[in-house]
Structure 1
């Protein structure tokens, strides 16, 4: 029996061993279970199992930090062509929650990708990540591990200082009342004040999801809970204020090490600002940049059809 078949059977056994793992999405997984990582277990789901060993597996990293796999549910539609693996990072969603802050690092969360590959014996992979997930995808890609075929950096966080600067420009374009509330309460350390939170909502209506109500809300609700403690510890109280451990994060000086085709995609009014995403794309040999018109940071929710069309077109040009 081949090592691949053994690994897949092992995954099925693992899924059955944890049959209590909830089915939490509008497209049920073909396989679901837990994979051991440093500090606990991460929960994963797999669709497109028939393509395993024939096509590179797409491993998708969610945003946050502290988000869940449900924000990336549109990727499941690619399972008609590829194996697609979504998972919850340690300490969030369906995964174990040991609460050990020593594991809340870029290095740990990148190591989870290696653990998934080992557990499922994935020889060839395409990595995709949105927002903070784009951080992990970039960090993985700059290492150029064996079997990496392509990377998708979706509205990625690649440089915190640039992210904050770009969002300050978005804030400067807001009405004076909201702009003043944001600046005043951040300086005073009163970001829980109702005026600050109201201004935050107004910002998100422009740069998180521009449609009201935001489409496909069922993809993100009613499932595993995100972990706000991880988010606030590593990032901060809002998308545009980052006093957490990622405050000085910057991978841009290493982007030129990426050797695989890389798609950088973001919204026209994204928190991951188009001008910066274009600049980052230019740092990657074989980088391919696309904008989703009239979208904020929730690109997949605001125009899922165009987003997936763009991803499919990119993947069609990637050699298996």
Structure 2
């Protein structure tokens, strides 16, 4: 399968991207927006399987992450939703596909995708929101509920280190792993592509710690008050919601998308948590692929 890699200049920075498939196929390409904020494209790599039918699938590492420009000295005023929306716009124009394209965003990527879609950008054909909350208030409420279902010893460890500010210790990370194996990725041991993303966050946690916080459920970063709920009615393209039965993005966190987007459908993967594209890859690619084909 044809693969093209390159860099798109974004102001003073560089956005690394990879195109899998045929850019000249005539089908609108798919942009895949990774999560975090602060992850890399690696853990959503399986979506390149959607290129088998001829469609170009475009992965990229958001600035601050992976193979794109790292900016370890930048603070909270720099890492904003607007910065990453403009980066996506820049990449679309750099690749010359403004006339027609699909967007799929996973977790934070879906939050970013919804922020992008409410502006009704030129050329957007459809949107897939995968495992994403519609507000961080809902996310935190549900994360706390899921935490309360963990073994008491694990809960106590998490609370102890969060109170002491020692969330970088191995004991805290081991406790986080218990949560992750229930609600983030239920494939154990963790697949290589997922492990690469977690390793990349450990190597440079600047974006993740600034916008999110030290863990999936201890959100103390700049996104802690984020919400898109009151703007979802503005999305004017078909939207597919996907999530997992055991997802940390619980039904309650996803429900506002279903309630407020005019043209929307929702598929829940019964054997998955936060990564149906890893946990039920074949079925996930079929569901997403059918949706894209229907809306080409």
TM-score clears 0.5: yes
How far off its partner does 1:165 sit?
0.6
Indicate the structure whose relative CO is greater, using CA pairs within 8 Å and at least 6 residues apart. Answer: 2
Q: 1:120 and 1:284, CA in 2 relative to 1: closer, same or farther beyond 3 A?
A: same
2:135 touches 2:228 (CA, 8 Å); kept in 1?
Answer: yes
C-alpha contact 2:41 2:197 (8 A) present in aligned 1: no
1:221 match: secondary structure:
helix
Find the residue that maps to 2:65 and give its secondary structure. coil
> Is structure 2 residue 128 aligned with structure 1 residue 152?
yes
Q: 1:223 to 1:154 in 2, by over 3 A?
A: closer
Please show how residues 271-290 of structure 1 align to structure 2 within 5 Å: 271-290=248-267
- Aligned equivalents of 1:103, 1:39: Cα separation in 2: 13
Large movers: runs of 4+ above 4 Å: none
Q: Which residue of 1 aligns with 2:146?
A: 170
| Structure 2 residue aligned with 1:113 | 88
1:137 deviates by 0.6
Q: Note the residue ranges of structure 1 that are not aligned, 5 or more in a row.
A: 1-26
- Displacement, 1:58? 0.6
- CA deviations on 1:172-231 (whole Å, 9 max, x unpaired) are 1112221222234323433234443332111111111123223x4246539993431211
Larger radius of gyration between Structure 1 and Structure 2: 1
Partner of 1:5: none
**1:70 equivalent in structure 2:** 42
Structure 1 residues 317 and 202, CA, compared in 2 at 3 Å: closer, same or farther? same
Distance across 2 between alignment mates of 1:222 and 1:310: 24
Q: Is the 8 A contact 1:68 1:224 kept in 2?
A: no
Aligned residues: 290
Q: Residues 1-320 of structure 1: matches in 2 within 5 Å?
A: 30-52=3-25, 54-79=26-51, 80-99=53-72, 100-101=74-75, 102-122=77-97, 123-214=99-190, 216-218=191-193, 220-221=195-196, 225-226=200-201, 227-318=204-295, 320=296
Q: Is the 8 A contact 1:126 1:150 kept in 2?
A: yes
Structure 2 CA distance for aligned equivalents of residues 274 and 72 of structure 1: 21
Q: CA 1:35–1:196 in 2, change beyond 3 Å: closer, same or farther?
A: same
Q: Secondary structure at the match of 2:156?
A: helix
Whole-angstrom distance in 1 between the partners of 2:197 and 2:220 = 30
Could you tell me whether the CA contact under 8 Å between 2:183 and 2:273 is conserved in 1? yes
